[in-house]
Structure 1
Amino acid sequence: MRENKVVCRELDCGNPVSVSRGHLIEDGRGGVRLLRCSGDESSIRQCDIRRGRPGFCDGEYYHHVTCSESVRLVNGAGLCSGRVEVKSNQSWASVCEADFDRQDAEVVCRELGCGAPAALQGGLYGEGEGQTWDKEFQCKGKESLLLDCDTSDRKHNTCLPGNAVGLTCSEPDDVRLVGGGSRCAGGVEWYDQGEWRTVGTLSDAKAVAAVVCRQMGCGSTVSVLPGNTTRGIRVSCSGSESLLRECRRMHDLLPGLTVICSESVRLVDGAGLCSGRVEVKSNQSWASVCEADFDRQDAEVVCRDVGCGAPAALQGGLYGEGEGQTWDKEFQCKGKESLLLDCDTSDRKHNTCLPGNAVGLTCSEPDDVRLVGGGSRCAGGVEWYYQGEWRTVGADDWDVAAVVCRQLGCGSTVSALPGNTTRGVGVYCDGDESALRECRRRYYLLPGLTVICSDLLVQPDIFLTDPMGGVFRGHQGPEMFRGYNFTITCSTQPQYPGGSFLLTFTGSNRTQTQPAVNHSAAFLFPAADDSHQGNYSCVYDNYVFSHNFSSESELLSLTITGN
């Protein structure tokens, strides 16, 4: 779209209205022209133009561009918003608010390929630097082009500063989500050449989903999953586009894309899908929520609404301040609702929300990944809960294993080995993601992945016993009378056979080791004296999966007392 904006600007034809692709075209010398523009150039000659090979990158197709020709929207957030400017004597003129009404706006939005007008206001997108259009538009609202409308002489001789009309059109209804039980969930379809077609992608599914949710006003992405393989439209997005039609596309055989959006609530400016500033949809715009109007039960509903785990952190100003309005109600959730907007609300007790009080929320990651068949929650074949069932995850790199161990809270990766080849969900990660669902999906058959994480062994238990009754509970922990015998027992859950326990005594080099019998070991101490006072811990060691693993218990602080 950046290149197409430059083309329309150089031809003095307004803004791009639509972009499509044609067949391979060569420049007569065995190659095609590849353009890379920033979008600010006045001519494509200022862009990076290089020769390419047929079939190289996107150069195997040429672009069909339709420009708006006689009207454009300037300084807006996308193709469907900005200051209205009309072409007059080969230059562009802004339009005065007094000369432009709702019916005129309907024609402009239609001409630019956008939806119905959503906002119409003078000064909304700044003042133009050139002249002002010298006629008053008198559209009936059904015309295809603004210059098809009747005009009359202006009733006003001047257009005061701040009155250059700004227009926001709603996004066109050329994208939809189907089969998900909600307009904000389902398979992605794009209205293309007179019919709805499946949308697929190769490596940037998360970016495409972000654009879809944004375009449909459906909050942030909750999940992205591959659908059935079908002939459709292949799309590639950066994730910052306001419309799917601003992304690159071609026709190709790809799996469809299933997207679930949060619909009425989103988390903004966080580190991932499960953290950020809480914003609620209000009158087609997004409003931040004041910390005083939001509690733990509200947070539980939001985390559930966006497809994450339980709340982990809740604090005002945690993820910055919103630029728009503040939600004007206080939520009164019971904590069991499925959606935030299912909760009751009441009038706010506070008239204002002071800076730094826009509530930020961090949810834990959902339990949608597990390791199976390894005898531990931190070892085994990777499975992902997908479309109502657990499916094998296919991958061929260490980075996926690193994300799995991190998401499960299982430490670092010890080994990652291919398992059986099976039809499952292919995944590619960079390695720094906090959850597997932040990675990209692959759409071909890969071997399943068996992962072993460093925190393989559960934490052992440590406790003290005394057959003679010389131990009692003190203020700082167990206390032992001098001269009495005592026993420190180490035990662990029955994960793997064998192994050994090392009993350490903090503050000295004194250690004892015993093999684990029935997953426990008892260490006997005769005649307690001052030398036995201190901190003890059990370290369980075992050789499993061709690696040594260990896990340490909590400290047991023993005090020696009495004569």
Structure 2
Amino acid sequence: MVMPTGASHVLLVLLLCWVAPSKQELAPVRLRLGGPRGPAGEGRLEVLYQGLWGTVCDDGFDFHAATVACRQLGYTAAITWTHSATYGQGEGPIWLDNVQCGGSEGSLAECVHNGWGISDCHHGEDAGVVCSGQRLPGNSPQATTSSHLGEVLGLTLEEVRLKPILARAKLSMPVMEGAVEVKHNGRWMRVCNTNWTRNNSRVVCGMLGFPREKHINTSFYRKLWNRKLKDPNSSLKTLSQKNSFWVHTVRCQGSEPHLARCPVQMAPPAPRQHACPHGMHAIVSCLPGPAFQGMGMGMGKGKGKKKTIPGKVLPVRLRAGTHAGEGRVEVLRHGQWGTVCDKQWDLAAASVVCRQLGYGTAKQALLGARMGQGLGPIHMSNVQCTGHEHSLGECRFQDAKQNGCRHEADAAVRCHMPHMDFKSQVRLAGGRNPEEGVVEVLVPMQGQLQWGAVCGAQWGLNEAMVVCRQLGLGFASHALQETWYWAGSPDATRVVMSGVRCAGTELALQQCQRHGPVHCPSGGGHFSAGVTCTAHAPDLVMNAQLVQETAYLEDRPLGLLYCAHEEHCLSRSADNMQWPYGHRRLLRFSSQIHNLGRADFRPRMGRHAWTWHQCHRHFHSIEVFTHYDLLTLNGSKVAEGHKASFCLEDTNCPEGLQRRFACANFGDQGVSVGCWDTYRHDIDCQWIDITDVPPGSYTFQVVVNPKHEVAESDFSNNMMRCQCKYDGQRVWMHSCHTSDAYGADVVRDLERQEQLANNLV
């Protein structure tokens, strides 16, 4: 075969590429992060080359390569890199292999590699990166709209604070009243009160975590100012004569999420003009939200109530957030909780949500289900707010059904929160890393603050959740009642807190109920409370609609129920029957359990501790995974069942996510983020034995993870209920919903209707 002249040159070039890896192509390439939805800046590394997305092999990939990739993605630095498809296996070509970077390259394409598409890897070797959360200047993340202190008129306001003037304000936590100071080029400067407006105060309060501003007595502060100017021992007169002491003018509209978004004039227009002639520092007083009232200097009472438009007040809540004041936005509309589509979602709309909840303005408006996907209706899309609304319902929006929105686009927020200094009142000691250890608290003892341990008796996940939130470490993965393997601090050996009982929503452990005098019979030391924290947690939610659609009755012969009887899936009366003669009446249904959190749901026990059940020939990884109960309308239990977790796996996943857990061949068990585990109606124990139940109206109830064996970001949605009508031959299920799916009024109406229909009221 005769080859064209040009072809031989092409072949030679390809051979040289293979033999001597080099910088093949310096043209810029696009990068993205793939895999399960998680925190911004981490995921499977993917490269766009010749119009096709592909992955990077982990052979030769190191921290230098991760640094280049993170910088190209718009982040300041890399934290680490991952191998062996940690973020799932990608698809398409493996574009890069044996990538070798020095760390200073501007693009991954500038690093040495085998050549585009030349690789002996498979997708089980896909590389990933974990980048820092900080963005490079000028690089805003595609999935985030942020109010980080930005540049305004060429100026950068780095930080803003209130400096308390009055003695009572200095003792307040959080600080709610004082002189406005801004940090510019590393220096704190006062803001002149000339032309200062309540719109400016509203913005300052919002960015400091407060929903509203409060009127102040400026004449009182003017007298204090003049008195200090006349004081020969005060340096205020000298400082106030320097223009470097002042920010000349601030002009806000009141809807800005941060003072840095307002027009700011640092110096007066004329060269020798005084920056604040005849003025003084601007004073701001803020009103705290309900969660922070009573914590400060008694300023929680304001005149009047917020004016809202009748019929447009939509209650809102946040779900699945790692920290207080953040989460997926859900609104109560038509009596049912639902999510908000992220189309046109911005800081103005996010700030309305934050203020409505009693927080400040929004730090970030998060797109793309960054706080996990919701389940149920999507109520709103194309939300457009001015920033002055008191409720999200006052904003312009469209019905999400008209826009084809899906839960992959659920909107979320991060709100500005007041600085409470809660973090300094608790610490972890003795752990292997900063996220775990013995819980030690700072409490007043005999007139002075003293560190001490917490009694481990009755210590549980709710209490651990509060500690992790207080420390800013996210969620609790374990609550430990014994910590003999961790050495606490020498100055905190004494037990100073016992009988701690938290609802789980408190902002600090000191807000939980506890014993007055400490009572801890087991003592401290090895029996002190401990925690392990994690940045992300799973969140299991039952698909209520599927239960309603699949419920039916079956009269099953005893001869087919030996295994179920062995696993205690039948009522006690089955023990007294003449096996194998007779049958049991079973209420059967399918269940589909979604993981809507931001971490995989994994069994607490490792596979070495799983129990083998010979009858069904499978392993139980959790003692009890779900409770199935049939209740009277007054709440009494008339029948029950339970589902041991014989197999936790990804039955299905949304498009773009791969199944990672499967039970076959003693495989790993769990439910991946965004995926769901389906238990079909025709498998053993997927029922309630109602053989002994008389006809009537009942409440059908399912509780997932009932013993809280595995930590979740939200336990309030683990219960599902249906109204159930049984006539002795047939069964009807209706009004199925998770425990937090409907508003309280709707739930009460449903229960009352059933009670009225059965003459119970």
TM-score w.r.t. length of structure 2: 0.24
Quick check: which has more Rg, 1 or 2?
Answer: 1
Greater helix share, structure number: 2
Asked which structure has the greater RCO (Cα within 8 Å, sep 6+), the reply is: 2
Greater strand share, structure number: 1
TM-score w.r.t. length of structure 1: 0.31
